[in-house]
Structure 1
Amino acid sequence: MIQLIPVLGLFLYFPEDKTEYIPAGITMVVFTILAFIAFRFIIKLSKKEQQEVDDLLKKSERKEKN
């Protein structure tokens, strides 16, 4: 494990000019917002599908009673 530490250090890059972080920050913000939107969409879709399943179960229970 100790032998890996110098190898991992080769991949680290800390620029002198901190403005190089701006594109990475913008990209991170954009992808975070898109991930949040996708997450909310999946939750909304899941609730809709759950409601449809509940409705079908209620219909099938009514048919079994009749």
Structure 2
Amino acid sequence: MESLVLSLFLYFPEDKSEYIPAAISFFFFFLACVATFWLILRISKKEASKAKELEEKLLKQEQSGGNS
């Protein structure tokens, strides 16, 4: 019974050319993952710089308002 269950999930083809479509799709999905990760990092850096500018602006306003 156990070998029947394992044979449903494990398939090693004799003809190794059957791996080519899987390798191609893996390559494209991997590129999509890398591009998405890069895009998230880029947007995150932009948002962090905006937040830092806003923080500095608020601190300057607070200091100038406290001095008056």
More helix by share: 2
Equivalence for 2:36: 38
Unaligned 5+ segments in structure 1 are none
C-alpha distance after superposition, 1:21-60 (max 9, x if no partner): 0000000011111100110110000000000000000000
Query: Structure 1 vs Structure 2: percent identity of aligned residues?
Result: 43
**Aligned structure 1 segments of 4 or more residues deviating by more than 3 angstroms:** none
- Matched residue count: 63
CA RMSD of aligned residues (A): 1.4
Aligned ranges for residues 4-23 of structure 1 at < 5 Å? 6=3, 7-23=5-21
Query: Which structure would you say has the larger Rg?
Result: 2
TM superposition score normalised by structure 2: 0.83
